[in-house]
Structure 1
């Protein structure tokens, strides 16, 4: 129904309670839902901000002769630049905040690409928003929590001896506590997370080195503002 479709509309920053609803707003959730059926997906993977559209797809599937897709939703990785998208996206305040600050490919320096070179990764982290002693809303720390520690049992940070020398953190909680107290400088945190993320992307770099034609295809998809 139209009302059910409108319930999925906040995905694009519009509220279903808006008095003046444009036709294109209502078409957007339907177009996203049709993507799943057009690609014949058994499993739809996306961020938490897509879950309402995915539920719309699951409800509509049997009526359209399709099997309801399995839906997997991952946390939203925040962008490295201090940007906030205007609008209301979710009834849950925490999820709404995550959506407003999520990484977007349209903000070039705030987004990481899997085909970024080590130099590009390092440059993006060096320019990242990373206020000293601030843990909440710090994208570099969020990347350590969401990317580094789930894949590594430690975060090694190299720094000159005059600034305390190399240090290793074995949990995100330990890292966050040290950063909040000012025991770790923002630049040292950036360098450590950058090195760890570069290591995570190494298998991707090796793949594209063997498949340069796929790397070129990937670059053609990279559209920014």
Structure 2
């Protein structure tokens, strides 16, 4: 794909690192160029980790997957779909590592929002206002924030970010047609 797309720079997840290294190594010897590779963090899937792999391979195995739609949030998911997926998501109490909702908070929500409000009944401590990811980690690790209180907040903030994209595909005729065409190409298992 790199050479077919004439990409000088590729931005892909770590799961594509082997093909990127291969392109860099053999590109010049077969008449192409040596592409610049920018690899980035991959969000883990929303399901419970089942793998016994370790290191980078475990990280790749945990990532969101198009072939398992409930493990991923798509930019075209409805508000209800996002709420349902987040509500079903693996989110063990007091656990930060391999907790997909904590990853969403760290890499998406706190990158965009300076303050995150978590609404909850007074009997469970009342509303919380968090100003950074470290504050979230502290209250979650201590057990002062339950996953059932975190989940609605994560869903709300993700929906705020996805809403402009949804509106674009609803209101822009050309974008809507393109989306329908892309959906028709989906491979099912």
**TM > 0.5 between the two?**
yes
Cα deviation, 1:39-98, whole Å, max 9, x if unaligned, reads 222222210122222121012111122222221111011000114357x6xxxx432221
Name the counterpart of 1:154.
115
The gaps in structure 1 that reach 5 residues or longer are: 1-34
Which of 17, 37, 44 matches 1:78? 44
- Correspondent of 2:33 among 42, 54, 67: 67
Aligned residue among 103, 106, 116 for 2:64: 103
Normalised by the length of structure 2, the TM-score is: 0.89
| Cα distance change of structure 1 residues 97 and 123 upon mapping to structure 2, 3 Å threshold | same
Corresponding residue for residue 18 of structure 2: 52
> For residue 129 of structure 2, what is the aligned residue in structure 1?
168
Q: What is the Cα deviation at residue 131 of structure 1?
A: 1.2
Look up the SS of the partner of 2:111 in the other structure.
Answer: coil
Contact 2:49-2:98 within 8 A present in 1 as well: no
Give the secondary structure class of the aligned counterpart of 1:44: strand
Structure 1 222/158 Cα, relative in aligned 2: closer, same or farther at 3 Å?
A: farther
Larger radius of gyration: 1
**Structure 2 residue ranges without an equivalent (≥5):** none
Instruction: Show structure 1 runs of 4+ deviating over 3 A.
Output: 83-86, 221-225
2:181 equivalent in structure 1? 217
RMSD value, Cα: 1.8
CA shift digits 1:173-198 (9 cap, x unpaired) = 11011011111110111111111111
Alignment TM-score, normalising by the size of structure 1: 0.76
